[in-house]
Each structure stands twice: as C-alpha cells, then as structure tokens.
Amino acid sequence: MKEFLICPSILSADFARLGEDVSQVLNAGADVVHFDVMDNHYVPNLTIGPLVCQALRADMDRRGLTVPIDVHLMVKPVDRLVPDFIKAGASIITFHPEASEHIDRTLQLIKAGGAQAGLVFNPATPLHYLDHVMDKLDVILLMSVNPGFGGQSFIPGTLDKIRQVRQRIEASGRDIRLQIDGGVKVDNIAEIAAAGADMFVAGSAIFNQPDYRAVIDQMRAELQG
C-alpha cells in the first residue's frame, strides 16, 4: 500500500456521466473512489445508494480499473444498508458512530462481509467512541467540515484532532488508516499530512478543475515536499 492515498469524492463529479468522470480521475492517478451516501435524515442532503455503487463498480471493472470504492455512510440507521453495499462492491465502509445503535455490531457486520471498516467523527464528535473498538478498525475518518455538502472550508481545529488520533493509532500498534474529509486542497494537504493523516478525500478541489492530473500531481508534490 502507498504511504499516502488520494481519494476523490464523487459528490463533486458529473453524475450524468459518472463512469466516464470516475475513469478520468482514476487515470489521472487517484488511489481510491470516495462514495458519499447521504439520506436526508442523518445529514440534510440526499445522494446515491447501493444501485449506483453496483453500477459504478461494474463500469470500473469493465474498464479494468481495480481501485477500491470507499463508501462513506452518512445515514441513520446504518446496519440495513451494510449488506447491500457489500453486495454492490464496496471495499471500505465507514459510518458515524452516533448514527448506529450498536457500534461493535455494525463493525462486525462490515468485516464479516469482507470489507474494511471505519468510524467517522464529525468536527464536534468526541473521540471516546474509539475506546473499545480499536482492534476492529481499518480506517478512522475525521471530518474537517460538517457533513452534508461538498465545497465547504476546512475547520482548522481538526488539525489537533488529527494529532490526537495519530497518537492513538501509534499507541495501538495497529495498521489503521487516518482519513480526512472536507475542504482538503493543494494548499493545505501538506499541513494535514504533517499532523498525521495518510488518506485524503477531496471533492471540489479535484472535480472543479479542468485537469484532474494536474491537481493530483500538485497534491502529491505537496505530500512529498
């Protein structure tokens, strides 16, 4: 696995030509497809579900693109959708702990289906949800905006939270990815990496530019810099 993973959020992609747009961003060097699922209940927006995930997975497979689909569930309740997304080809499934009645059960459900599992923390969600489940996590996702919309500004207080989570991951001795989602751009990605993140979700910063490769190359240059 690479040290740093760039994960375009397809929330900012062109949904009318999703397969084509995703293939363009993957051919431009992206590592993971970030798939934002919103239910107009847990978050005030409505997006896409397992049917679109399945169609996208099939389209990527046809094009020979083996990149993982990372499903970020912003839904409540959570469990009902987990088997559907596993069947639809999700490689990673993350959910917000306060949206699940039984966090450990949801994690087990994801892992039993063969996907990687992660918890997502909103800017004001406390980290104590990590206390008893570190051994079941493959990913910890810190939101650096309030979930629901693309194109918002990075909340600077997240940097300190990244440092805290990085310490907890090191103390656990486990191989857990630390993903950041919201307002990630070329001009702040280095600072976010320095705080301890290694997986970077970026929607508007990539899809709102005409040349995806140029943005991704600039992000990688910042990360190596």
- Which are the catalytic amino acids? 36, 181
The nearest distance, CB 73 to ligand DX5, in angstroms, is: 10
Which own/partner contact pairs does 56-64 have at CB distance under 8 Å and 24+ positions apart?
A: 56/10, 56/18, 56/19, 56/22, 57/88, 57/89, 58/89, 59/18, 59/19, 59/22, 59/23, 60/19, 60/22, 60/23, 60/26, 60/33, 63/19, 63/23
Q: Return the number of the residue (74 or 107) whose C-beta is nearest Zn ion.
A: 74
Cα separation, 153 vs 26, in Å, equals 25
According to DSSP, residue 17 is labeled: G
Pairing of strands 199-202, 139-143: unpaired
Residues 35-94 that bind ligand DX5 (CB under 6 A): 36, 72
225 labelled binding-site residue: no
Q: Return the number of the residue (105 or 202) whose C-beta is nearest ligand DX5.
A: 202
Residues 130-149 that bind ligand DX5 (CB under 6 A): 145, 147-148
Helix (H, G, I), strand (E, B) or coil at 86: helix
Among 49, 50, 183, 196, binds ligand DX5 (CB under 6 A): 183
203, interface contact from Zn ion, ligand DX5, none, CB < 5-8 Å by kind: ligand DX5
Find the radius of gyration of the CA atoms of the chain: 16
Pairing of strands 177-181, 199-202: parallel
150 labelled binding-site residue: yes
Cα separation, 95 vs 145, in Å, equals 15
Among 50, 68, 150, 196, binds ligand DX5 (CB under 6 A): 150
Cβ neighbour number for residue 1 with a 10 Å cutoff: 8
204 labelled binding-site residue: yes
Candidates 8-16, 90-98, 126-134, 162-170: pick the segment binding ligand DX5 (CB under 6 A): 8-16
Largest CA distance in the chain: 45
The nearest distance, CB 141 to ligand DX5, in angstroms, is: 9
The nearest distance, CB 72 to ligand DX5, in angstroms, is: 5
Number of chain residues interacting with ligand DX5 (CB under 6 A): 21
Show binding-site residues for a divalent metal cation: 34, 36, 72, 181
Give me the residues that bind ligand DX5 (CB under 6 A), please: 9, 11-12, 34, 36, 72, 145, 147-148, 150-152, 181-184, 201-205
Show binding-site residues: 9, 34, 36, 72, 148-151, 181-183, 203-204
Show binding-site residues for substrate: 9, 72, 148-151, 181-183, 203-204
